[in-house]
Amino acid sequence: MIGAGVSGLGFASWWRELHPDERVVVLEADAEPGGYCRTIERAGFVWDYSGHFFHFKDPAIEAWLRARMPGQDVRTVTRVAKIRYAGIDIDFPFQTHIHQLPKDEFIECLVELFARPTGEPRSFGEMLYQRLGKGITEKFLRPYNEKLYATSLDQLDVDAMGRFFPHADVADIVANMRPGVRAHGYNATFTYPAGGAVQYIHALLRDLPPGTVACGEPATGVDLSARTVATPARTIHYRRAVVSSAPLPRLARMAGLPHDASVFTSNQVLVFNLGFDAKGPRDVHWMYFPDPATVFYRVGWYDNILGADRMSLYVEIGAATGARVDVEQLRARVLADLVREGIVTDQRLVADHHVVLDPAYVHITRASLAETARVKAALAAADVHSVGRYGGWTYCSIEDNLLETRALARSL
Ligand SMILES: Cc1cc2nc3c(=O)[nH]c(=O)nc-3n(C[C@H](O)[C@H](O)[C@H](O)COP(=O)(O)OP(=O)(O)OC[C@H]3O[C@@H](n4cnc5c(N)ncnc54)[C@H](O)[C@@H]3O)c2cc1C
């Protein structure tokens, strides 16, 4: 196994359940396991690598994890997500709450919704106009997603966000205008362990024999004909298969497999975790910021999720991959924009942390879908299986990673 994130540890756990006598080696380049599902504790604050909240569709997967988390305080929270639009806060998703806009803008969105263009969309950008009309698209969906993805939405595949895009048809939008009706988008509740997302990683590590995970030992080469994986310390001969959660273009390079690296583009996300000495806004778990003048696209309040008495924020900024990220300059901008948005008033910053996730959101395009399928199939023919968010070059949740690796373990 290459990579000790959710996918790698998930696969190792499923495999051990099926084949307790077989050895699995999990190579991890980093000094610690967890991948993007990691938690930092500082000055009494608990922060993830970025806002990680969990919506399990399959109760069996959640129960399987929870059985490995005895004594953990896992909260179930009814989501309060907002959008800061032109100085007012409206409920998320935008498209089903246009009636909360000022009357002229509400009418504009409604008229454009009924006059939306028809046809078969060729891109994510076109899909937005054709499904929801110009008003909703240009006020929120387009500026927000351009900020997040740091690319033109016309480059992205129609289905670039899969089930994570909160689709709504005209009937849903109109029905939601009645008082007392609330459409939640993709999920009304989420779960979160009070000890942070890394508790799920601890759950996955629980059943693995000591020595299974080799941290600080990157895979540097995969020889498909000799059936070996090289690391700086050793050469491992694999009997059955290699399962890798490293980014697919990196794996293809390691295996010497010809591929078109230019189709694998993505954004990077800079996350600032910020701890303050006093509470801030109370009735919100996270908020989206479509305005290009505000540096961040999303801010979340851990303190409101966990019921803590000091404001504990994560702040996310999207940038194109390869763009230089000037952390000091961006931290100063973040703090200034938090004040301008009225989130920070007289609270004092007492602790902070930052991390760059690169890649973070991959750009799912027609070309990336085709090349991903081709490269994965070529590797699988040599018993090398590329899985996970970056191994599959896709948009997914940790639950998807567990479902995928369970299916793979069963099929192998
Ligand atoms: C901003 C953001 C927010 C998210 N929010 C949520 C959320 O709220 N809920 C949710 O369910 N999911 C969320 N996700 C998705 C979730 O983080 C991923 O689905 C999950 O962490 C992916 O796990 P993985 O093991 O596939 O990949 P990774 O976490 O990337 O793990 C891959 C591992 O492989 C290692 N590796 C890479 N190359 C090598 C090598 N050559 N040799 C050895 N090791 C190597 C890496 O160091 C890493 O540890 C979010 C993702 C992002 C980016």
- DSSP letter string over 199-229? HHHHHHHTTSPTTSEEET----EEETTTTEE
Tell me if residue 13 falls in helix, strand or coil: helix
Residue-level pLDDT at 375: 98
Mark out the alpha helices in 137-194 (DSSP H runs). Answer: 142-149, 170-175
Structure tokens at 75: 């909260």
CB 166 within 8 A of CB 186: yes
Compute CA distances 39 → 36, 45, 269, 342, whole Å: 9, 10, 16, 27
Each residue of 105-143: pLDDT tens digit? 999 999 999 999 999 999 999 999 999 999 999 999 999
End-to-end CA distance of the chain: 13
Tell me if residue 89 falls in helix, strand or coil: strand
CB 361 within 8 A of CB 266: yes
Distance of CA 239 to the CA centre of its chain: 33
Task: Say if ligand 1 is within 6 A of residue 50 CB.
Answer: yes
Residues contacting residue 295 through CB under 8 Å, at least 6 positions apart: 317, 330, 333, 334, 337
Task: Say if ligand 1 is within 6 A of residue 29 CB.
Answer: yes
Name the pairing type of β-strands 242-244 and 384-386. Answer: parallel
Each residue of 314-326: pLDDT tens digit? 999 999 988 999 9
pLDDT at 94 over 80: yes
- Closest-CA residue, ligand 1 atom 26, reads 388
Structure tokens at 382: 């040599």
CA-based nearest residue to 177, from 99, 92, 90, 89 = 99
- Compute the distance from residue 279 Cα to the ligand 1 centre, in Å: 31
pLDDT tier, 182 (very low <50, low <70, confident <90, very high otherwise): low
CB 108 within 8 A of CB 135: yes
Which of 1, 389, 396, 408 for mutating ligand 1's site (highest number of atoms within 8 Å of CB)? 389
Each residue of 279-302: pLDDT tens digit? 999 999 999 999 999 999 999 999
Compute CA distances 111 → 24, 106, 169, 302, whole Å: 59, 9, 14, 38
